[in-house]
């Protein structure tokens, strides 16, 4: 009986310990999130701290007119707070969507982008920017600031639905087809995006480039409301998907034997993740790495049980994006770095490290 | 308890299973034997409800399986597949626990753990409970999945006589000692009242453990009944396309088969009788 | 009685004078139609290279506390704090400069940030789009009204107006307009040229040339074939920094080689901000270009 010793840290950790470790991770996650949220709201280029919070509230509630109160209200309640909340929901949505995709595709390297959400959203955003000054102009102007988020969301959602239609024709090979068709659609979307980018002028092209690097800069309560329903739908559905995702890890047939309604689970998972990721991309542009790196880190610490991976990913994803946003805001203040760049700078090496050092744990034997 | 009525299954213009009737009754172990490509796994998958028959029905407790929800079925039957791919680093114990936690059977953590440990011990896996699944040998993995299936049924709150275990080649990667371990366990489950179906490639094991054998070839049943009736030279030769010589254990007359090359069999004129 | 009248008159004049000096710049209507009351003009934030140039031309350079990254002239601006690219501002970043008045050109963005800034206590004046000489004059006057420097602004405006009319006179003397192509940049083997509706187009027109790329809309990459069809007689290249060897880059492109760029088709190089910023230096830049292209014209 071959018992090779692999350099996996959890190879000999008792399963009970790992579950306890997982629970602790979730607790730590909540604490970290609260801490990071407070830090995020109390830190900024204007130097305002939480001590100005009372002023901010009095301005908001009593409509006080004093310049200091109004300033505090603007910075703390209209800029930092919605930004922090947006970042948290974007991070949580992307991370959970990533974890669910990895469970669905039974592959630790899967990413919401594989089901075409990000490329579809990007294509729609580009189309809006490019065509917004031509024939689609009146509609775009009518929607005003909502045009881009709505377009991005619809783009992501429609792409995913198209994909489901293609994949479901093939019955039991659906997941593999989904993967391949997703890659194909992403390529098509990329080509169309390039085409449209060609049609735009210099100014619009810059806007596009900036948008695709991801940013929470224009965060507002409106945007928070924009993402909230979809993020909440996904996050609150977590308990219902734990069983299905754990079962699916053994394969669709096994999941069925264990009592999971596989088709329904797949449909719900794809739909909810598409909606949440579409909304996230719509309000914050494309932010990479969260969907892959975060669930992976959680699995490394606490094992692949979705009872921990899902909530853990949500919390860690939220913490990561909020922290990255603080860095984005402060590092070149009063200017800002796009958050996608920070994630790439931090995420890529971490990801590389994971793949190289823990590669053994990733491959299906 | 599980019954196939005139079941036919066609896939890609080929009839893999033709008009088969089969009944799994509580407290009996049925073994399906036959050459490669006979349709044994397909038949098993029809009986589990995973595949829907092209014609005919599969009933469980007299109800059509196709009409029942997955979780209703999961309390009444558990399946051990031939191959299960698992890409993530669960420990052996955690995989067994999936048999309880995924169907959502509420056993409570300590109870679930105790049960999982018991099953692992029974199948000789006590030592490797905390080892990562991906580091286990093929045989160890098979036993882990059997333990998982047993846990699933154990917690389903359905009396054993109303449950079934269906195993596809549960002994294919095991050495003789572990083969007997697994089959002894299946036999014990049968004694408890469960209906057991096993696809076996080892004719001798099938002969020794099964109450009923089903010899399958090209999607049809060539022979069915107790070992003594099915393990006949002519039937087996026809099914496996090779000259076969069976013999009988002197003490109880149980049939067995010693392997011999197809060429030698025709030349030999009874050296073993 | 006369003493009373004199006293009253003195009071009135005194009051008017007082009112005038603390007359917090009167209400200003900016290009988006917003009414802005700029009470304190001591710390200015300037968004847009042209905005910055106007402020310095009016003598208010020392009041500028921060600028965006497109502000490159005059050179002392490079030492000012930067709030980032004009289309990618951050609300808090802008507010942290402590500016008491923000002057921004029409490109300031993103729209959410502009909206948030409007709700802040810091007045934000948005200047009109660049559409030609008239819009430049309007920009100057609007800035002047906003920072309470109407006299200086009017002076600058009339100077610019006379420069523009001088250009117009010179243009009328051109018998055969030269076909010019303006190259904004060269990247990955393609040249980005200024078509219709760009500042490049405006400048080419001011300099009395015909835009060879009039068939294109906006700044677009040009294909080799199109280049040959455009048949420009002169290529004008915008250079971002002195280190760039733009002429060589352009001449190396096959399409440009085919039309004889660098040989029978001269390549004129001008600083990008100078040529295309469309600030107060615009008429001067157009004049310089015109002088290079039509040396026979009287200056």
pLDDT tens string B53-94: 999 999 998 899 989 999 899 999 999 988 877 777 888 888
| Pairing of β B246-248 and β B255-257 | antiparallel
Q: How far is A202 from chain C (nearest CA, A)?
A: 6
- Contact partners of A by the rule of 3+ C-beta pairs under 8 A? B, C
Residue-range definition of the domain harbouring residue B129: 77-157
Give the whole-number percent of chain C exceeding pLDDT 70: 91
Give the model's pLDDT for residue C209. Answer: 92
Residue from the list A198, A202, A329 with its beta carbon closest to the beta carbon of C92: A329
Question: Average pLDDT of B123-127?
Answer: 87
Q: How far is A105 from chain C (nearest CA, A)?
A: 37
Q: Which residues of A touch C (CB under 8 A)?
A: 44-47, 67, 70-71, 74-75, 78-80, 145, 198, 200-203, 206-207, 210, 215, 217-220, 223, 329, 332-336, 338
Query: Smallest Cα–Cα separation from A318: which of A43, A40, A4?
Result: A40
Residue B21 inside a domain? The answer is no
The first and second tokens of residue C59, run together, are 């003598």
Residue-range definition of the domain harbouring residue A103: 16-39+51-358
Q: DSSP letters of A312-358?
A: HHHHHHHHHHHHHHHHHHHTTTTS---HHHHHHHHHHHHHHHHHHHS
CA B107, CA B156: separation in Å to the nearest integer? 10
> Which CATH number does the domain housing residue A168 bear?
1.10.3470.10
Give the model's pLDDT for residue A6. Answer: 36
Query: Smallest Cα–Cα separation from A22: which of A278, A270, A218, A307?
Result: A307
Residue B231 inside a domain? The answer is no
Number of domains in chain B: 1
CB B212 within 8 A of CB B33: no
Query: What does the pLDDT look like over A140-198, one tens digit per residue?
Result: 666 766 777 788 888 888 888 787 777 776 444 467 777 788 888 888 888 888 787 77
Residue from the list C92, C116, C218 with its beta carbon closest to the beta carbon of A45: C92
CB C229 within 8 A of CB C197: no
CB-based touch C/B (3+ pairs, under 8 A): no
Q: How far is A317 from chain C (nearest CA, A)?
A: 23
Residue of B nearest to A243 (CA): B102
CA A82, CA A75: separation in Å to the nearest integer? 10
Give the whole-number percent of chain B exceeding pLDDT 70: 93
CA A254, CA B244: separation in Å to the nearest integer? 36
Give the model's pLDDT for residue B40. Answer: 92
Kindly give the parts of chain A with pLDDT less than 50.
Answer: 1-12, 170-173, 360, 362-365
CB contact under 8 A, C220 and A201: yes
Instruction: Tell me the CATH architecture of domain C179-293.
Output: 3-Layer(aba) Sandwich (3.40)
* A-C contacts (CB, under 8 Å): 102
Q: How far is C83 from chain A (nearest CA, A)?
A: 4
Q: How far is C115 from chain A (nearest CA, A)?
A: 9
Q: Is pLDDT of C117 > 70?
A: yes
Residues in CB range of C159: below 8 A, 6 or more apart: none
Mean pLDDT, chain C, whole residue set: 86
CA A241, CA A255: separation in Å to the nearest integer? 12
**Cα three-residue angle B157-B161-B163, rounded to 5 degrees:** 60
Give the model's pLDDT for residue A314. Answer: 96
pLDDT band at B178 (very low <50, low <70, confident <90, very high): confident
Residues of A within 8 A of B70 (CB-CB) are 256, 259-262
CB contact under 8 A, C113 and A217: yes
Domain edges within chain C: 26-160, 179-293
DSSP state of A49: -
Q: Is B97 an 8 Å CB contact of chain A?
A: yes
Backbone angles phi, psi at A320, to 5 degrees: -60, -50
Interface of B with A in 138-197 (CB under 8 A): 140, 152
Cα C141 to chain centroid distance, Å, stands at 13
Q: Where are the alpha helices (DSSP H) in A48-116?
A: 53-62, 67-72, 81-104
The first and second tokens of residue C186, run together, are 């060269």
Query: What does the pLDDT look like over C272-289, one tens digit per residue?
Result: 889 998 889 999 999 999
Strands (E), chain A: none
pLDDT band at B37 (very low <50, low <70, confident <90, very high): confident
CB contact under 8 A, B87 and A250: no
Give the model's pLDDT for residue A321. Answer: 94
Query: Smallest Cα–Cα separation from C140: which of C279, C283, C282?
Result: C279
Q: Which residues of C touch A (CB under 8 A)?
A: 66, 69, 81-85, 87-97, 107, 109-113, 115-116, 119-121, 184, 192, 198, 217-221
Query: What does the pLDDT look like over C162-175, one tens digit per residue?
Result: 999 999 998 888 88
* A-B contacts (CB, under 8 Å): 119
CA B23, CA B195: separation in Å to the nearest integer? 10
Q: Which residue has the higher pLDDT, A64 or B193?
A: B193
Number of domains in chain A: 1
Query: What does the pLDDT look like over C8-49, one tens digit per residue?
Result: 555 555 555 554 444 445 688 888 888 888 788 899 999 999
CB A309 within 8 A of CB A302: yes
Query: What does the pLDDT look like over B227-270, one tens digit per residue?
Result: 888 888 888 888 887 777 888 877 777 788 876 666 554 454 44
Q: How far is B192 from chain A (nearest CA, A)?
A: 21
Q: Is pLDDT of C88 > 80?
A: yes
The residue to which tokens 């224009």 are assigned: A218
- Contact partners of C by the rule of 3+ C-beta pairs under 8 A? A
Instruction: Tell me the CATH architecture of domain C26-160.
Output: 3-Layer(aba) Sandwich (3.40)
CB A284 within 8 A of CB A214: yes
- Contact partners of B by the rule of 3+ C-beta pairs under 8 A? A
SS3 B245: coil
CA A228, CA A276: separation in Å to the nearest integer? 9
CB A334 within 8 A of CB C93: yes
Tell which of B41, B71, B102, B133 to mutate to test the A interface (max A CBs under 10 Å).
Answer: B102
Residue A61 inside a domain? The answer is yes
The first and second tokens of residue B257, run together, are 């088969």
pLDDT band at C225 (very low <50, low <70, confident <90, very high): confident
CB B49 within 8 A of CB B66: yes
Q: Is pLDDT of C62 > 50?
A: yes
């Amino acid at each position: 009986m071959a018992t090779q010793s692999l350099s996996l840290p959890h190879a000999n950790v008792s399963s009970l310990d790992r579950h306890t470790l997982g629970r602790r991770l979730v607790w730590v996650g909540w604490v970290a999130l609260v801490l990071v949220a407070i830090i995020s709201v109390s830190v900024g280029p204007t130097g305002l701290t939480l001590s100005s919070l009372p002023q901010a509230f009095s301005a908001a509630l009593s409509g006080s007119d004093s310049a200091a109160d109004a300033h505090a209200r603007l910075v703390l309640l209209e800029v930092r707070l919605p930004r922090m909340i947006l970042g948290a929901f974007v991070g949580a949505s992307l991370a959970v969507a990533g974890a669910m995709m990895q469970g669905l595709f039974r592959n630790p390297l899967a990413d919401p982008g594989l089901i075409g959400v990000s490329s579809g959203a990007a294509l729609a955003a580009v189309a809006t920017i490019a065509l917004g000054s031509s024939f689609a102009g009146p509609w775009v102007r009518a929607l005003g600031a909502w045009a881009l988020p709505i377009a991005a969301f619809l783009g992501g959602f429609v792409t995913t639905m198209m994909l489901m239609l293609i994949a479901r024709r093939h019955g039991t090979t659906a997941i593999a087809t989904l993967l391949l068709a997703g890659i194909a659609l992403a390529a098509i979307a990329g080509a169309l995006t390039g085409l449209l980018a060609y049609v735009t002028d210099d100014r619009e092209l810059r806007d596009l480039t900036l948008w695709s690097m991801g940013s929470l800069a224009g965060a507002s309560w409106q945007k928070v409301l924009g993402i909230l329903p979809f993020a909440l739908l996904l996050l609150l559905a977590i308990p219902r998907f734990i069983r299905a995702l754990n079962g699916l890890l053994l394969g669709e047939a096994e999941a069925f034997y264990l009592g999971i309604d596989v088709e329904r689970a797949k449909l719900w998972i794809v739909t909810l993740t598409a909606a949440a990721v579409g909304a996230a991309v719509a309000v914050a542009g494309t932010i990479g790495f969260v969907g892959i790196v975060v669930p992976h880190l959680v699995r490394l610490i606490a094992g692949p049980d979705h009872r921990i991976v899902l909530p853990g990913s949500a919390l860690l994803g939220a913490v990561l994006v909020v922290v990255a946003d603080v860095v984005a805001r402060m590092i070149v203040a009063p200017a800002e770095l796009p958050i996608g760049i920070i994630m790439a700078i931090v995420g890529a090496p971490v990801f590389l490290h994971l793949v190289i050092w823990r590669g053994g744990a990733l491959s299906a034997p | 308890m599980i019954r196939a009525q005139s079941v036919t299954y066609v896939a890609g213009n080929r009839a893999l299973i033709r008009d088969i009737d089969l009944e799994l009754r509580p407290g009996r172990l049925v073994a399906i034997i036959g050459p490669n490509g006979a349709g044994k796994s397909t038949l098993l998958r029809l009986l589990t409800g995973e595949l829907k028959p092209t014609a005919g029905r599969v009933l469980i407790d007299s109800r059509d399986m196709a009409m029942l929800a997955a979780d209703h079925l999961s309390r009444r039957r558990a399946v051990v597949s031939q191959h299960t791919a698992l890409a993530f680093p669960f420990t052996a114990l955690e995989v067994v626990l999936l048999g309880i936690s995924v169907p959502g059977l509420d056993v409570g953590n300590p109870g679930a753990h105790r049960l999982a440990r018991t099953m692992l011990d029974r199948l000789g896996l006590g030592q490797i409970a905390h080892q990562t699944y991906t580091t286990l040998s093929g045989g160890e993995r098979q036993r882990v999945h059997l333990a998982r299936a047993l846990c699933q049924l154990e917690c389903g709150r359905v009396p054993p006589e109303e449950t079934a275990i269906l195993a596809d080649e549960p002994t294919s990667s095991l050495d003789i000692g572990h083969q007997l371990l697994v089959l002894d366990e299946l036999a014990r489950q049968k004694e408890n009242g469960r209906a057991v179906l096993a696809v076996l490639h080892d004719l001798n094991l099938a002969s020794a453990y099964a109450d009923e054998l089903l010899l399958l070839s090209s999607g049809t049943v060539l022979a069915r009944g107790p070992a003594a009736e099915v393990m006949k030279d002519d039937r087996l030769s026809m099914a496996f396309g090779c000259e076969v010589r069976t013999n009988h254990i002197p003490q109880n007359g149980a049939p067995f088969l010693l392997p011999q090359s197809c060429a030698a069999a025709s030349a030999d004129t009874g050296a073993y009788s | 009685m006369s003493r009373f009248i004199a006293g009253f008159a003195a009071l009135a004049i005194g009051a008017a004078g007082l009112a005038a000096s603390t007359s917090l710049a009167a209400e200003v209507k900016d290009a988006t139609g917003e009414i802005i009351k700029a009470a304190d003009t001591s710390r200015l934030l300037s968004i847009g290279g042209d905005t910055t140039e106007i402020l310095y031309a009016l003598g208010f350079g020392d009041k500028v506390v921060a600028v965006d990254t497109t502000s490159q002239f005059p050179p002392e601006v490079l030492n000012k704090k930067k709030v980032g690219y004009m289309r990618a501002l951050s609300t808090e970043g802008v507010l942290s400069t402590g500016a008491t008045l923000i002057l921004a050109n029409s490109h300031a963005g993103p729209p959410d940030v502009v909206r948030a800034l409007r709700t802040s206590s810091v007045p934000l004046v948005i200047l009109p789009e660049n559409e030609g000489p008239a819009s430049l004059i309007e920009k100057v006057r609007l800035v002047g009204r906003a920072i309470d420097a109407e006299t200086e602004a009017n002076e600058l405006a009339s100077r610019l107006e006379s420069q523009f009319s001088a250009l117009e006179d010179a243009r009328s003397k051109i018998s055969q307009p030269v076909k010019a192509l303006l190259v904004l940049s060269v990247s990955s083997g393609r040249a980005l040229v200024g078509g219709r509706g760009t500042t490049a187009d405006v400048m080419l027109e001011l300099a009395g040339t015909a835009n060879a790329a009039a068939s294109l809309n906006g700044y677009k990459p040009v294909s080799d074939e199109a280049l040959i069809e455009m048949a420009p007689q002169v290529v004008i290249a915008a250079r971002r920094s002195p280190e760039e060897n733009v002429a060589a880059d352009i001449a190396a492109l096959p399409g440009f080689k085919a039309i004889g760029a660098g040989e029978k088709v001269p390549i004129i190089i001008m600083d990008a901000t100078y040529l295309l910023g469309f600030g107060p230096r615009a008429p001067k830049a157009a004049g310089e270009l015109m002088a290079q292209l039509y040396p026979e014209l009287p200056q």
